[in-house]
Every structure is written in C-alpha cells, then in structure tokens.
A and B are shown apart, each in its own frame.
Chain A
Amino acid sequence: GEDVEQSLFLSVREGDSSVINCTYTDSSSTYLYWYKQEPGAGLQLLTYIFSNMDMKQDQRLTVLLNKKDKHLSLRIADTQTGDSAIYFCAEGPYSGGGADGLTFGKGTHLIIQP
C-alpha cells in the first residue's frame, strides 16, 4: 500500500538552512506536497511539485524530487523562529479531484535553536 516516511524531529540553529526529507512508495503519485502545521492549527500548504519536475524554488523554500529513489526534500533557507512547526510530506495520485485522498507522512517537528 501507499506509505510516506519522514523523520520525526529536526533541530537547526536560527539562520541555518533546514532540510526535511521524505520517502514515498506510490510510483503513480502525480503531485507531492509540503504542508506546515503550527500548534493547534490546521494545515497550511507551503509548496508542491509535479512528479515530472526535479526541483522547484519559491522564495526561501526549495523542493527537490528524486523520482527514481522516491525521495522528496524541503530546504528552508535562513531558518527563522517562525518556521518552528510540524512539516508534513504528502503524495497524491491524479484522479480528477484536487484533494484526491492525499497520503501524509507522520510529520517532522522542526525545532529552532537560538
């Protein structure tokens, strides 16, 4: 079945880059997503990448996709205290609907050290 794996915690110093990694199993995934969840809040879409792309950059965020290894990463440049949150990787097959039964990982807690 489909599975998305992420490491549970990542600790970085303020100002450094954070790299959050994710592996997935469903080769039919069309889109891969990164969501952010702050304490007590819902999910905020950060960025997504289409499966035929290798890289996508959006301001401080860079997404890298290695489709052969089914590995996705999110790099946050110049990490700030406001980046402290849980980051979820998710995959979604194409079947016409935008939400499409996304499969989420368990999330990576990003901890920022001063």
Chain B
Amino acid sequence: DAGVTQSPTHLIKTRGQQVTLRCSPKSGHDTVSWYQQALGQGPQFIFQYYEEEERQRGNFPDRFSGHQFPNYSSELNVNALLLGDSALYLCASSWWGVNTEAFFGQGTRLTVV
C-alpha cells in the first residue's frame, strides 16, 4: 500500500500564474482533504471532497478550487498566485461516514516568486 501520494514534491511558480497539485488517496479511502501549511504554522484546512463534490470548505478565497475524480484522486488548483500562497500543501485521505484518523501525504512545497 503506497499510502497517500502527492505530486509534484516541489514546485516554483511566478506570481499571477496558476498551479495544479495532485493527490492519490490511500487504497480504500474515498475522501480527500487539502491543507495549506505556511512556514512555522500548523496546517489550515482548505476543503474536502467526497463523491466528486466539495463537502466542506475552510476560509480560503475562490482562487482555490479542487476536483475529485471517479478513482477518488484529487487536484487542487490555485489561480492568480500570490507570494503568500507559498507553503507546503498537504493532502489527507480518509473514509467518509466513519470518523477515523486521516492519513497525510508528504506534501507539495510550492514557492511563488
């Protein structure tokens, strides 16, 4: 079992560009959540996907959007990148309807210059 995998591991983008990050959940999991972890901070919840729909959303602007595919994998898209979007983006997977622990991937380090 590969666990939760994220790609790419590192990414450098220019301010104003758009970026897409990818996540494959742990085998058997059907729910994917995304978190943003700025340097020196704890992770902050962006949104959660289940059955290809956004189910919950944290306090993030509409520039942050996502998608979940039929195979449960997910993408996080960020438009009009700002310097402040530089962070580690973490994906977590779990089962829906069972309040259990979330398994996190290693993250994608995004640097906006």
Contacts and interface: CB of A to CB of B under 8 A. Distances in A.
A41 B37 CA distance: 12
A34 B38 CA distance: 19
Interface of A: 4, 30-31, 33, 35, 41-45, 48, 88, 90, 92, 94-107
Contacts, number: 83
Interface of B: 4, 31-33, 35, 40-45, 48, 50, 55-56, 58, 90, 92-107
A1 B55 CA distance: 20
In the complex, the 9 A-B pairs of residues with the closest C-beta atoms, listed nearest first: A98-B94, A104-B42, A99-B33, A99-B102, A43-B104, A42-B106, A101-B45, A42-B104, A98-B100
A113 B104 CA distance: 29
Contacts of B93: 99
Nearest to A44: B104
A35 to B, nearest CB: 8
